[in-house]
């Protein structure tokens, strides 16, 4: 990584607003530092969906480079990866995953992959891009000695839940929350 590329500022990129008529070849690959501006923009899209549903939990849109360090942390590591989907030199989706080792004394020891975020730009949804990104994650985890992939999906996100069920993911727990007075 050259010094001129870092720190890379996430810039506004216009999201794909309609599916291309004569689309070229869809490519899947590992992300590079040059992809960070587009990953930041795609991350904002998925965060906006979550903010709309739970504004008390998820931050509103911020500066375009707000999440740069978060996404960059998965680049250049053996135990983490971002995969991207690219169409005609434009990113249309991504997924990030980190490898973890379960070591708690109450649980079985296990190496697994934890998916952080999956985002496919709206006009490209329903075309199998999310499925292919998740297959790349599953392959990455297996190739690195992992035994399963784990993720969290919010109850309002029914489309994502259906996708994961189609891919064989099972619901194992429910994460409940209740607001209380007293905090700032």
1 in any annotated domain: no
The more confident residue out of 8 and 43 is 43
Residue 39: CATH number of its domain: 3.40.630.30
Whether residue 9 is predicted with pLDDT greater than 60 in this model: the reply is no
Whether residue 148 lies inside any domain: the answer is: yes
Mean pLDDT of 19-29: 74
Residue 45 lies in a domain: yes
| 176 Cβ neighbours under 8 A, 6+ residues apart | none
Does 18 score more than 70 pLDDT? no
Enter the tokens of residue 78. 């053996």
Question: Is 106 a member of any domain?
Answer: yes
Strand partners for 59: none
Helix (H, G, I), strand (E, B) or coil at 92: strand
Closest to 92 measured CA to CA, from 126, 62, 66, 61: 126
- Supply the pLDDT for residue 171: 94
55 neighbors 160 (Cβ within 8 angstroms): no
Mean pLDDT along residues 149-176: 94
Q: What residues make up the domain containing 58?
A: 26-166
Structure confidence at residue 182 (pLDDT) = 78
CA atoms within 13 A on the CB side of 101: 5
Average pLDDT (11-28) is 58
What is the per-residue pLDDT across 33-59, written as a single tens digit (0 to 9) for each? 999 999 999 999 999 999 999 999 999
**Based on the structure, what is the number of domains in the chain?**
1
DSSP 3-state of 94 = strand
Predicted TM-score (pTM) of this structure: 0.85
Q: Is residue 183 part of a domain?
A: no
What CA dihedral angle connects 174, 130, 158 and 43, to 10 degrees? 80
pLDDT averaged over the chain?
87
pLDDT average, residue stretch 159-181: 93
Longest alpha-carbon distance in the chain: 56
Q: Taking the alpha carbons of 87, 92, 95, 96 in that order, is the dihedral positive or negative?
A: positive
Name the residue with tokens 């994650």: 137
**pLDDT value, residue 2:** 33
């Amino acid at each position: 990584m050259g010094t001129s590329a870092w720190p890379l500022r996430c810039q506004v990129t216009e999201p794909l607003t309609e599916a291309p008529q004569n689309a070229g070849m869809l490519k899947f690959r590992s992300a590079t530092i040059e992809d960070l501006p587009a990953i930041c923009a795609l991350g904002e899209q998925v965060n906006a969906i979550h903010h709309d549903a739970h504004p008390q939990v998820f931050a509103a849109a911020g500066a375009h480079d707000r999440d740069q360090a978060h996404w960059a942390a998965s680049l250049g590591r053996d135990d983490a990866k971002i995969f991207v989907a690219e169409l005609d030199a434009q990113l249309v989706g991504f997924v990030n995953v980190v490898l973890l080792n379960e070591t708690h004394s109450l649980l079985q020891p296990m190496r697994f992959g934890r998916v952080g975020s999956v985002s496919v730009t709206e006009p490209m949804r329903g075309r199998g891009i999310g499925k292919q990104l998740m297959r790349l994650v599953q392959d990455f985890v297996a190739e690195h000695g992992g035994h399963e992939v784990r993720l969290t999906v919010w109850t309002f996100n029914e489309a994502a839940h259906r996708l994961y069920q189609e891919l064989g993911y099972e619901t194992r727990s429910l994460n409940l929350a209740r607001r209380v007075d007293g905090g700032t």
